[in-house]
Structure 1
Amino acid sequence: MSRAGSPDIHVEGVADLRVAVVAAQWHDEIMKGLVEGALRALHDAKIEEPTVVRVPGTFELPVAARALAERGYQAIVALGVVVRGDTPHFDYVCQAATYGLTQVAVTTGVPIGFGVLTCDTVDQAHARAGLEGSREDKGYEAAMAAIATVKALRTVAEPWH
């Protein structure tokens, strides 16, 4: 779990953004850290009233993200955690969530901060969740990535017609 090469992203001038955080409910303690990290990042960017939507699990993140994108949110932060078990369920859920969130972002043009932890153990998830004793804060990072992408896209000129 190295942060080597990780960018230090801080975003200003995005207080006007309409942002939603969509978060799974599995692994309550880990999710608490991820959601708090995302909300702290949005607060740091002066986004004071993000919408928070909770869904049952990571598999449900793409459909919720799609609905939020269609309702006019300009950035979405998707948060979840999947811990490997004894069956291939882990692989299916991780692949479906990753592919689904990618499709939502590409088809809607709405940036999605990917804060889905895919870990072999709960200890690995804890180390990334932004909780006391964690080495990383993936909720914070996912929120900053989403809003930084919106800001970057704002610098691109509209196509000539």
Structure 2
Amino acid sequence: MSGAGAPTIRTDGTGLRAALVAASWHTQVMDGLIAGARRAFAECNVTDVVEVRVPGSMELPVAAATAAYQGYDVIVALGVVIRGGTPHFDYVCQGVTQGLTDVSVRSRVPVGFGVLTTDDEAQALDRAGLPGSSEDKGAEAVEAAVATAVALRAL
């Protein structure tokens, strides 16, 4: 399992302004990721959270960039890309990953990466934080981004 060895991160993000940008494809998986993200923001005491939905994962970088330049302290991007029968999967995964990385590095705003890139729907459901899922990648993306934002304040 990919989550083996992951640290437990509990950070107080009181006062942080957060943007949650989420794709719309694969409703059941996205509902689980968003619910996990909302729970994690609450557990981290981040109460100022705006949510924005975009059509697909490829649109996440521009939404994240807009949030970064509007002054949000932390951004979490959630999406799902499931492998199909063409190379499209590879291009989308690479574009989204590079785009979100560029947003974070250029803006100096942590971007939590909650984009599932799976071979099939069963793998996505297993990572979506739904009842019976083995992982909650929506919550993990929030925890990582909030912890990074708090750590960067010390620099």
Q: Which TM-score band applies after superposition, normalised by the shorter structure?
A: over 0.9
User: What's the CA shift for 1:81?
Assistant: 0.4
Q: TM-score, normalised by structure 2?
A: 0.98
Q: What letter matches 1:140 in structure 2?
A: A
**Equivalent residue, structure 1, for 2:124:** 125
Q: What letter matches 2:3 in structure 1?
A: R
CA distance in 2, matches of 1:29, 1:110: 29
**Equivalent residue, structure 2, for 1:11:** 11
CA distance in 1, matches of 2:107, 2:49: 19
User: What's the CA shift for 1:93?
Assistant: 0.4
Structure with bigger gyration radius: 1
**Equivalent residue, structure 2, for 1:48:** 47
**Equivalent residue, structure 2, for 1:101:** 100
Percent of pairs with identical residues: 57
CA distance in 2, matches of 1:75, 1:2: 24
Gaps of 5+ in 2: none
**Equivalent residue, structure 2, for 1:146:** 145
CA distance in 1, matches of 2:4, 2:44: 24
**Equivalent residue, structure 2, for 1:110:** 109
Q: What is the total number of aligned residue pairs between the two structures?
A: 155
Gaps of 5+ in 1: 157-161
User: What's the CA shift for 1:70?
Assistant: 0.5
**Equivalent residue, structure 2, for 1:159:** none
Q: TM-score, normalised by structure 1?
A: 0.94
- Secondary structure, in 3 states, of the residue corresponding to 1:76? strand
What CA deviation, in whole Å up to 9, does each residue of 1:10-55 have, x standing for no partner? Answer: 012x210000100000000000000110110000111123100000
